[in-house]
């Protein structure tokens, strides 16, 4: 079958410990707004900037897979679990890019806090060689980018994310519906034997309960 036009692929990485409605709603909004062919959720197996998650990488992957059932625009990519080294984003981008056509557009989704921490990332200056950056801005995020990123923003920012050109190399911002949900909050609720229902998909909550995840150590 002949390929028609460049594909548009989004990537959203994270520990997903556990995946929740905030992750999923942000992913779906971007997939729709940007008219992506696919938005891949990529669980981090060995996150270099965080403590080891309470749930194993395999459990977190299983929860993300359950979360996207029935939503064709969202898919799951397990490549970081298949690598026996820290989950550096630049390695993931290189790996994904190698599987795409030269003109396919690749978009890496980052929250504002993650974007501001980019200068601490492994080989962060190379990210834009492989993709565009879409920074998810919430209306209450009024802090300024760190000085290390200001020149990059001045040179690479595009005001309208729908006008990003080429396979990669530019940065744009997308305003998000603010959902004040965090995985930390959910883990705390579960550890104190309170309900986390409606903060994450029912199938994910059922998996957590079946595997007795996030309970307090002496519960």
pLDDT digits (tens, 9 = 90+) for 108-159: 999 998 999 999 999 999 999 999 999 998 666 667 888 989 999 999 999 9
Average pLDDT on 150-179 reads 93
**CATH fold of 8-179:** Rossmann fold (3.40.50)
Give me the helices (H) in the chain, please: 21-33, 57-67, 89-98, 112-116, 147-156, 183-191, 202-210
The vertex-18 CA angle with 15 and 21, nearest 5°, equals 110
Its sign, for the CA torsion 111, 115, 117, 118, is positive
Q: What are the structure tokens assigned to 40, written together?
A: 């891949």
Tokens of 149: 């990123």
Q: CA angle, 182 as apex, 27 and 75 as ends, to 5°? A: 25
- Please tell me the predicted confidence (pLDDT) of residue 145: 85
Residue 209, CB-side half-sphere exposure with 13 Å CA sphere: 13
Provide the residue ranges of all domains of the chain, joining segments of one domain with +.
8-179
């Amino acid at each position: 079958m002949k390929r028609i036009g460049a594909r548009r692929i989004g990537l959203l990485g994270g520990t997903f410990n556990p995946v929740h409605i905030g992750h999923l709603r942000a992913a779906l909004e971007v997939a729709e707004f940007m008219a992506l062919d696919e938005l891949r959720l990529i669980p981090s197996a060995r996150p270099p900037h965080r403590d080891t998650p309470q749930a194993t990488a395999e459990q977190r992957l299983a929860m993300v897979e359950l979360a996207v059932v029935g939503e064709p625009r969202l898919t799951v990519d397990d490549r970081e679990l298949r690598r026996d080294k820290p989950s550096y984003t630049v390695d993931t981008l290189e790996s994904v890019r190698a599987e795409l056509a030269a003109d396919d557009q690749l978009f890496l989704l980052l929250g504002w806090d993650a974007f501001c921490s980019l200068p601490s990332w492994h080989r962060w200056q190379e990210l834009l060689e492989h993709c565009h950056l879409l920074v998810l801005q919430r209306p209450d995020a009024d802090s300024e980018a760190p000085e290390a990123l200001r020149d990059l923003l001045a040179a690479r920012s595009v005001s309208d994310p729908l006008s990003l050109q080429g396979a990669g190399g530019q940065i744009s911002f997308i305003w998000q519906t603010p959902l004040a949900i965090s995985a930390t909050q959910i883990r705390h609720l579960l550890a104190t034997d309170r309900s986390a229902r409606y903060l994450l998909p029912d199938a994910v909550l059922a998996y957590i309960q079946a595997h007795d995840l996030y309970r307090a150590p002496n519960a």
